[in-house]
């Protein structure tokens, strides 16, 4: 069956790779810089969704907890956590009308390990992880909800926010001694979509940076 899929944050990186992975045989709605108005417009384009991928996010800026300002905290949580909460709420009726629908949220290895230079980013991704488990229970059995916690991925994300020195530190902390390509995370999205007895799970795709 052709699936109707909404993916946020699709301009580059993981979102763009996920769109390419899920496109064959399916109908995709691609959003970036999404607003409530755009999410409402989706109701005019389709009467149901089979998959929502909440991928939009970013560091915003790296600062220590001593330096960070309240406005930056709000911006980080709005981009990474509040957007996931609200997009989910706004399209919930479409998911309920879908066939075997699922939500996949994107978190981060940072919420597992902590990040001294991006404390609030890690905290916002931790909020998404907790949100995943909560709505997995509240929306069961009709809607499955899972998440993916990527490690360091080769995307423009790090070109802007991560120095070469930091990248080398991250590489040294990764047992596989390399970073992932966005397509490797996109394949994890496909895996979750196809795993019909999986809900409330967070899949760690980080090259061994975090193990449990």
CB-count burial class (<10 Å; 0-12, 13-18, 19+) for 105: buried
Question: Taking a C-beta distance cutoff of 8 angstroms, is the pair 4, 98 a contact?
Answer: yes
DSSP 8-state class, residue 25: T
Maximum Cα interatomic distance, the chain, rounded to a whole number of Å: 52
32 catalytic per annotation: no
CA–CA gap between residue 190 and residue 123 (Å, rounded): 26
Choosing from 32, 121, 161, 210, the catalytic residue is 121
CA–CA gap between residue 200 and residue 130 (Å, rounded): 9
CA–CA gap between residue 115 and residue 39 (Å, rounded): 32
SS3 helix, strand, coil % of the chain, rounded to 5? 45, 15, 35
Strand partners, 118: 63
Q: Which residues are catalytic?
A: 121
């Amino acid at each position: 069956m052709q699936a109707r899929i909404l993916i946020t944050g699709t301009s580059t990186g993981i979102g763009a790779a996920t769109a390419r992975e899920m496109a064959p045989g399916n109908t995709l709605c691609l959003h970036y810089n999404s607003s409530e108005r755009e999410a409402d417009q989706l109701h005019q384009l389709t009467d149901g969704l089979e998959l929502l991928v909440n991928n939009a996010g970013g560091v915003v800026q790296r600062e220590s907890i001593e330096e960070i300002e309240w406005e930056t905290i709000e911006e980080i949580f709005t981009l990474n956590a509040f957007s996931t909460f609200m997009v989910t709420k706004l399209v919930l009726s479409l998911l309920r009308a879908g066939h075997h629908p699922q939500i996949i949220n994107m978190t981060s290895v940072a919420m597992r390990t902590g990040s001294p230079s991006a404390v609030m980013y890690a905290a916002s991704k931790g909020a998404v992880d907790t949100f995943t488990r909560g709505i997995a229970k509240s929306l069961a059995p009709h809607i499955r909800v899972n998440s993916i916690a990527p490690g360091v991925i080769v995307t423009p994300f790090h070109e802007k926010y991560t120095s070469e020195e930091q990248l080398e530190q991250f590489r040294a902390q990764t047992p596989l001694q390399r970073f992932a390509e966005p397509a490797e995370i996109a394949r994890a999205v496909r895996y979750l979509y196809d795993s019909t007895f999986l809900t409330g799970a967070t899949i760690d795709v980080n090259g061994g940076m975090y193990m449990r």
